Copies of this chain bind each other. A is one copy, B any other.
Amino acid sequence: MQKIQIMDLKVVIIGAGNLATCLSLELKKHQYNILQVYSRSKKSACTLAEVLECSWTNDLNKVESNADLYILSVSDRAYDVILPQLNFGDALVIHTSGSMPMQILTSYSQRIGVFYPLQTFTKGRAVDFTVIPICIEASNRADLNVLRSIAEKISSSVYEITTVQRKRLHLAAVFCSNFVNHCYALAFEIAKEQQVEFDLLKPLIRETAAKIETLLPIEAQTGPAVRYDENVMNRQKEMLTDHPLWKELYERMSKSIFELQTKK
């Protein structure tokens, strides 16, 4: 009974970015009833609505007001602008942000929640939702159960966590995903400057990620900074003379590696 009700929820998606796109496609795949997509950008709204086979708008005044569930997935600074312009009635309103408190929704609906899939999303790249941890939070038990049902439909890894823990997790995610990817990007640039193929680094990247499946990150640490080998580090920093910011990063990273190793 509960299941049928949940599948019948009329859903409106607010946002058409990476996360909004991947999540709404996944919901569609599981037969959820998506009514409409809103995006400030006509093109993004239209593109996503086409795949979802639903209507779209880029006008906040034309967002459907008879939905049961509003999923807000916009950049964190857009919430303040968007929320006061919407009318949710008595629908359940959730956001998907790692770093925003659930309480930003308090003034706009009695029934609020958070649905945070802990993953890096890029439009056009399919991800396997079944392994993605989905972190949920809601203002009441019944809505938490609704979110749990939706989450369990798409993932086998669902966690009820607090705003404080979610913010932590999001910060940790910035380190182990966004910053990690930037390290890949800098390696790419550094190799390119001497006509070295980035592909040579891929087995190393794979093994570095694979190692922490069985070792703690601190046990897996290697490289000159572990033993604070200043000869190596100084020679390496010399190669970064033309990139003062990368050189600073090199210094701080090495210092931080050494500090953490000596603390362990």
What is the interface of chain A, defined by CB distance below 8 A to chain B?
18, 75-77, 99, 118-122, 125, 127, 131-133, 135, 157, 159, 161, 164-165, 167-191, 193-196, 198, 200-209, 211-227, 229, 231-232, 235-236, 239-240, 245-246, 248-250, 252-253, 255-257, 259-260
Contact = CB atoms under 8 A, between A and B. Distances in A.
A185 B46 CA distance: 41
Contact of A260 (B189, B195, B226): B189
Contacts of A217: 181-182, 184-185, 187-188, 198
Contact of A176 (B165, B204, B222): B204
A173 to B, nearest CB: 6
A185 B260 contact: yes
A201 B185 CA distance: 21
Contacts of A161: 196
B201 A172 contact: yes
Nearest to A18: B222
A96 to B, nearest CB: 13
Contact of A133 (B200, B225, B232): B200
Contacts of A135: 200
B172 A180 contact: no
Number of this chain's copies in the complex: 2
Nearest to A193: B168
Given A232-B99, A256-B186, A171 B239 contact: yes
Nearest to A201: B176
Contacts of A167: 235-236, 239
Nearest to A209: B209
Given A118-B200, A169-B200, 16 more contacts: A122-B219, A131-B203, A132-B203, A135-B200, A164-B194, A168-B190, A169-B191, A172-B191, A176-B201, A176-B208, A179-B253, A182-B256, A186-B256, A187-B217, A189-B260, A249-B249
B181 A168 contact: no
A166 to B, nearest CB: 9
A204 B119 contact: yes
B183 A187 contact: no
Contact of A205 (B168, B185, B209): B209
24 contacts: A75-B227, A77-B232, A120-B204, A120-B223, A127-B207, A157-B203, A159-B200, A171-B240, A173-B201, A174-B236, A175-B187, A175-B190, A176-B201, A176-B208, A177-B205, A177-B207, A177-B208, A182-B217, A185-B221, A185-B260, A186-B256, A188-B217, A245-B256, A246-B256
